[in-house]
Protein backbone atom coordinates (compact mmCIF):
# COMPACT_ATOMS: atom_id res chain seq x y z
CA UNK A 1 0.00 0.00 0.00
CA UNK A 2 1.23 3.45 -0.89
CA UNK A 3 2.01 5.33 2.34
CA UNK A 4 0.53 8.62 1.08
CA UNK A 5 -2.66 6.95 -0.10
CA UNK A 6 -2.96 5.24 3.28
CA UNK A 7 -2.73 8.51 5.17
CA UNK A 8 -5.18 10.26 2.85
CA UNK A 9 -7.56 7.33 3.09
CA UNK A 10 -7.42 7.46 6.87
CA UNK A 11 -8.14 11.20 6.87
CA UNK A 12 -11.14 10.77 4.58
CA UNK A 13 -12.47 7.88 6.70
CA UNK A 14 -12.08 10.09 9.78
CA UNK A 15 -13.86 12.97 8.03
CA UNK A 16 -16.64 10.66 6.87
CA UNK A 17 -17.06 9.34 10.40
CA UNK A 18 -17.29 12.91 11.70
CA UNK A 19 -19.97 13.73 9.12
CA UNK A 20 -21.97 10.64 10.08
CA UNK A 21 -21.78 11.54 13.75
CA UNK A 22 -23.27 14.94 13.00
CA UNK A 23 -25.95 13.86 10.52
CA UNK A 24 -28.77 13.80 13.06
CA UNK A 25 -28.11 17.34 14.19
CA UNK A 26 -27.71 18.90 10.74
CA UNK A 27 -30.61 21.31 10.86
CA UNK A 28 -29.92 22.24 14.49
CA UNK A 29 -26.28 22.92 13.67
CA UNK A 30 -27.00 24.99 10.58
CA UNK A 31 -29.55 27.01 12.56
CA UNK A 32 -26.79 28.06 14.99
CA UNK A 33 -24.57 29.41 12.21
CA UNK A 34 -24.87 32.95 10.94
CA UNK A 35 -24.56 34.04 7.30
CA UNK A 36 -20.84 34.73 7.68
CA UNK A 37 -20.25 31.26 9.16
CA UNK A 38 -22.11 29.61 6.29
CA UNK A 39 -20.17 31.62 3.72
CA UNK A 40 -16.88 30.72 5.43
CA UNK A 41 -17.88 27.05 5.61
CA UNK A 42 -18.67 27.04 1.89
CA UNK A 43 -15.30 28.61 1.02
CA UNK A 44 -13.50 26.22 3.33
CA UNK A 45 -15.31 23.21 1.89
CA UNK A 46 -14.23 24.08 -1.65
CA UNK A 47 -10.61 23.81 -0.54
CA UNK A 48 -9.84 27.50 -0.48
CA UNK A 49 -6.64 28.48 1.33
CA UNK A 50 -6.72 30.85 4.31
CA UNK A 51 -5.22 33.75 2.35
CA UNK A 52 -7.85 33.40 -0.36
CA UNK A 53 -10.60 33.19 2.25
CA UNK A 54 -9.26 36.37 3.86
CA UNK A 55 -9.33 38.24 0.55
CA UNK A 56 -12.81 36.96 -0.29
CA UNK A 57 -14.20 37.92 3.12
CA UNK A 58 -12.31 41.23 3.25
CA UNK A 59 -10.43 40.45 6.46
CA UNK A 60 -6.78 39.98 7.37
CA UNK A 61 -5.23 36.54 7.07
CA UNK A 62 -4.85 36.43 10.85
CA UNK A 63 -8.57 37.15 11.27
CA UNK A 64 -9.40 34.49 8.69
CA UNK A 65 -7.34 31.94 10.65
CA UNK A 66 -9.27 32.81 13.80
CA UNK A 67 -12.58 32.62 11.94
CA UNK A 68 -11.69 29.17 10.60
CA UNK A 69 -10.69 27.97 14.07
CA UNK A 70 -13.95 29.30 15.53
CA UNK A 71 -15.97 27.63 12.79
CA UNK A 72 -14.23 24.28 13.31
CA UNK A 73 -15.07 24.58 17.00
CA UNK A 74 -18.73 25.36 16.24
CA UNK A 75 -18.86 22.35 13.90
CA UNK A 76 -17.15 20.23 16.57
CA UNK A 77 -14.48 19.00 14.15
CA UNK A 78 -10.71 19.14 14.38
CA UNK A 79 -9.74 19.87 10.79
CA UNK A 80 -10.77 21.31 7.44
CA UNK A 81 -11.23 17.87 5.86
CA UNK A 82 -13.87 16.93 8.42
CA UNK A 83 -15.58 20.31 7.94
CA UNK A 84 -15.61 19.78 4.16
CA UNK A 85 -17.04 16.27 4.60
CA UNK A 86 -19.80 17.68 6.79
CA UNK A 87 -20.55 20.37 4.21
CA UNK A 88 -20.89 17.71 1.55
CA UNK A 89 -23.02 15.53 3.81
CA UNK A 90 -25.33 18.43 4.63
CA UNK A 91 -25.58 19.45 0.96
CA UNK A 92 -24.04 22.86 1.58
CA UNK A 93 -22.32 22.85 -1.80
CA UNK A 94 -25.33 21.52 -3.72
CA UNK A 95 -26.73 25.00 -4.14
CA UNK A 96 -23.98 26.44 -6.30
CA UNK A 97 -21.95 27.82 -3.42
CA UNK A 98 -19.61 30.76 -3.75
CA UNK A 99 -16.47 29.50 -5.45
CA UNK A 100 -15.39 32.17 -7.93
Domains of the chain: 3-95 (1.10.10.10)
Prediction pTM value:
0.69
Q: Pick from 20, 24, 32: which is nearest to 89 by CA?
A: 20
- Report pLDDT digits (tens) over 61-94: 999 999 999 999 999 999 999 999 999 888 888 7
Task: Classify residue 74 by burial, with Cβ atoms within 10 Å: 0-12, 13-18, 19+.
Answer: middle
- Report pLDDT digits (tens) over 15-24: 666 656 555 5
Distance between CA atoms of 78 and 52, rounded to whole angstroms?
21
Amino acid sequence: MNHCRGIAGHRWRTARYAAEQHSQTASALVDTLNTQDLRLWTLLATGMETGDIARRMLVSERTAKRMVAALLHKLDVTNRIAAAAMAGHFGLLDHGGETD
